[in-house]
Amino acid sequence: MNITVDMLRAFRAAAETQNFTKAAEQTYMTQPAFSRLMSGLEKEWQVRLFERTTRKVSLTPAGQLCYLTAARMLEQYDHMLSEVEKIKRTFSGEMKVGCNTMSGMPEVFVHAMREMKQEYPGVRISVVSAGSVDLVPMIESGELDCGVVWSKSVMSSDKMDMMKLAPTHKYAILSSEHPLAERASISLRDLTGLPIIYMKDREKRTYQMVSQVCQEIGLSLMEAEPANNYDEMIMRVSVGGEAAISSFAYADHYYKEVVFRPISDLEQAEINGWRVLVWRKDNENEGVQTLCAILEKQLALSSLAPAE
């Protein structure tokens, strides 16, 4: 038998309550299982620990010695855990994180950052918002410790590691009052007849992707004047008469006047890629390792976990 901390706690409970039923309740065990555990300890240690009667149990002299020793061991163990927790709570340092807000932050990443800040309040986290093409060189140079970027912006490199967080999408942005807003997804053909707004200079890949697919399916979409920024795009869509296509992915509740619907024609994962966390393999910032551990745990428990 391998003696565990939980077994020692159970033995301590029995010694202090002098009642197997009460001790079993304290340790969340059934009374028969608890009795078998105590008998197992006696067999392992080759000594009688308890004098048993119908009403209570009491420690034998050998049991009293074992109890005092076990109590000291558990006290030292609990002290160790307390000191480790102090170290965790006082873990400090700085972590510089890049965020590509153009495609929206994956929910799992937001939750992980929140958990990290709660668990390690001493860590100073600074965030740099930029496009993926600007963030990747900053991560490669060490200016940033890690960053959330579009997977297709990361060149193959034996110096970089990445973790998949969530697939990216291309969205049709429509007025919340438009009839198409009631649909769960939109096809490019549904957008025929609507002037389509693209982001000027910032989303050339999106424009090229739409143009390529439209050519393949023999479809022609009407183009509106490009928008200079997302605020302008949202404003023009909200007043009606125009729609937009973008990788911009804020949830509907962020802008009540518009809705974001994935475009079914552009849902192939090999086209859209992933939102990924990227860092240098030689990065020694403990914060990055901690963030990755939190993300791995959350992805394992979440339906967002990507299939390999």
| Crossing angle of helices 5-17 and 31-45, rounded to 10° | 110
- pLDDT class of 122 with cuts at 50, 70, 90: confident
In a shared domain, residues 18 and 147: no
Mean pLDDT throughout 166-189?
89
Q: Are residues 116 and 264 in the same domain?
A: no
Asked whether the predicted pLDDT for residue 159 surpasses 90, the reply is: no
Residue 104 has what pLDDT?
63
Alpha-carbon distance of 308 to 256, in angstroms, equals: 36
Task: Pick the most confident of 75-89, 106-120, 247-261.
Answer: 106-120
Spatial separation of the C-alpha atoms in residues 162 and 146, rounded to whole Å: 9
Task: Give me the half-sphere count of Cα atoms (radius 13 Å) on the Cβ side of residue 255.
Answer: 22
For residue 186, list its beta bridge partners: 263
- 250 belongs to a structural domain: yes
Two structure tokens written together for 302: 């979440």
Same domain, 134 and 279: yes
Q: Is 307 within the bounds of a domain? A: no
Q: Are 20 and 29 in contact (CB under 8 A)?
A: no
Torsion sign, CA atoms 187, 110, 134, 140 = negative
Helix locations, the chain, DSSP H? 5-17, 20-26, 31-45, 61-90, 107-119, 132-141, 204-217, 230-238, 269-272, 286-301
My answer on whether 208 and 176 are in the same domain is yes
Do 183 and 266 have their domain in common?
A: yes
CATH of the domain at 130: 3.40.190.10
In a domain, 306, yes or no: no
Residues 188 and 164 in one domain: no
- State whether 191 and 257 are in the same domain: yes
The pLDDT-based confidence of 84 (bands split at 50, 70, 90) is confident
pTM score over 0.75: no
In a 3-state reduction of DSSP, which class is residue 80? helix
Residues 9 and 140 in one domain: no
Domain boundary among 26, 59, 89: 89
Let me know whether 10 and 154 are in one domain. no
Domain assignment of residue 278, given as a range? 91-168+273-301
d(Cα 289, Cα 292) in Å, to the nearest integer? 5
Residue 308 falls inside a structural domain: no
CATH of the domain at 19: 1.10.10.10
Nearest to 98 by CA among 62, 141, 65: 141
Helix, strand or coil, per DSSP, at residue 69: helix
Residue 119 resides in a domain: yes
- Final residue in a domain of this structure, among 54, 89, 124: 89
How many structural domains is the chain composed of?
3
**Co-location of 77 and 30 in the same domain:** yes
- Is residue 182 a part of any domain in this protein? yes
Co-location of 65 and 82 in the same domain: yes
- From the list 96, 98, 107, the residue with the least C-alpha distance to 129 is 98
On whether the CB atoms of residues 167 and 174 are closer than 8 A, the answer is no
What are the φ and ψ backbone dihedral angles of 148, each rounded to 5 degrees? Answer: -95, 115
User: Distances from the Cα of 48 to the Cαs of 39, 44, 66, 80, in angstroms?
Assistant: 9, 10, 10, 30
Distance of alpha carbon 170 from alpha carbon 143, whole angstroms = 30
Does residue 156 sit within a domain?
yes
Does residue 252 sit within a domain? yes
pLDDT tens track for 225-268: 999 888 899 999 998 789 999 876 655 446 778 998 989 888 76
